[in-house]
Amino acid sequence: MSIAHVVVTLLAITANAAIAAADYARAEFVLANSAEVRVPRSWVPLLATLKAAGAAGLLLGLLGARSLGVAAAVGLVLFYAGALVFHVRARAFHNIAFPGGYFALAAGTLVLTV
């Protein structure tokens, strides 16, 4: 396991855990962004759970459950690819860097894990 792998994975874990917490807390910026990209408020807790599960899976992957870490990274890549699609569909380009950054962290983790 390389230093780059550990650092990128820890960043991805931290970022996903933090945004999942904001989702669960129904932070104003989360609700505003969800409304802008036409994601129903009722989806926010489920999306938070998916992000938290991804973070947990990445952590378990770092701790030795490599296949679980790979599955979590794949899941997060697909999740954030969907988020990017929602942003493009809604023409919400002013804040597309956020899902793009999460996507990059997930993709980086995936590449460094396999």
Answer whether 20's CB lies under 8 Å from 55's CB.
yes
Question: SS3 string of 22-65?
Answer: HHHCCCHHHHHHHHHCCCCHHHHHHHHHHHHHHHHHHHHHHCCC
Which residue ranges make up each domain of the chain? 3-113
pLDDT tens digit at each of 114 positions of the chain:
799 999 999 999 999 999 999 999 999 999 999 999 999 999 999 999 999 999 999 999 999 999 999 999 999 999 999 999 999 999 999 999 999 999 999 999 999 999
User: 65 in the Ramachandran plot: left (φ > 0), alpha (ψ -120 to 50) or beta?
Assistant: beta
**DSSP helix/strand/coil, 114:** coil
Model pLDDT, residue 97: 94
Model pLDDT, residue 57: 98
Model pLDDT, residue 110: 97
Q: What is the pTM of this model?
A: 0.93
For 38, list phi and psi in degrees, rounded to 5: 65, 45
Model pLDDT, residue 1: 77
Query: d(Cα 74, Cα 1) in Å, to the nearest integer?
Result: 18
